[in-house]
Structure 1
Amino acid sequence: MKTKKATVFWTTLVVLVVLYIVTALVAEGQLSAVGVTIIIMLVGNGATYIGGNVADAWQRSKYFRSELDGK
């Protein structure tokens, strides 16, 4: 099964935001402890997505040959 990076990024983002909102509504007192972890996971999700795009672009450019590009 092939999954696109963007699909994984947006799914993870939505799940983490919903988790944060549910935690804020259900257990306000625990938000200070759990919220920090969720924020760190959001930042990690963004960094992983950017890192994946950089690695993908590097891998594509590594074998790029202009004569095969057709332009």
Structure 2
Amino acid sequence: MQSMPIEELAQAFITALWNVETHLAVMDVFRQWYRAQFVEPAIVMLFICQVVTIVFSMLGIHVVANKVS
């Protein structure tokens, strides 16, 4: 599948609210982006950091980096 220009992508995103076929086409475009070799691991790491931060917050654990003088 060829990538879409940003104008078409924005239009497709807006029309996806009314049209299932357009929604599926947009999802295919985004899937190619977020499953890229360097993007997917970054998204996974950000998700893990978010989960760890929430768990630490719920447990009342506050991690502060030591200042180097």
TM-score, length-normalised on structure 1? 0.38
Greater helix percent: which structure?
Answer: 1
User: More relative contact order in 1 or in 2 (CA 8 Å, sep 6+)?
Assistant: 1
